[in-house]
Amino acid sequence: MKTFVALVADASGRYANVYGNATEWGEYIDQLEDLGCEVLENQTSEYDITELGKIDAELDVVPIAKLLTDTDFISH
């Protein structure tokens, strides 16, 4: 499994950087689309993957598992 970071948009046009695990980028896109995200681009290269999960607020990212529960994200 690899960790990916995606820039996504919700139904109101707000943006978020969301990270999660998948075997490939296409599989991660499917996970995000299943949650109602519009996937805009792969941001993985912009982040130090080892910091994810430790300083998420500072990095302005959210784990995929908390996107719908800990944010005001509105699904498409």
Report the chain (76 residues): mean pLDDT per 10 consecutive residues.
97 96 98 97 96 95 96 93
Q: What is the pLDDT of residue 33?
A: 97
Q: What is the pLDDT of residue 66?
A: 96
How far, CA to CA in Å, does 41 sit from each of 5, 15, 69? Answer: 9, 11, 23
Q: What is the pLDDT of residue 14?
A: 95
Q: Residue 28: which of 49, 42, 16, 15 has the closest Cα? A: 42
Q: What is the pLDDT of residue 4?
A: 98
Q: What is the pTM of this model?
A: 0.94
Q: Residue 5: which of 50, 75, 21 has the closest Cα? A: 21
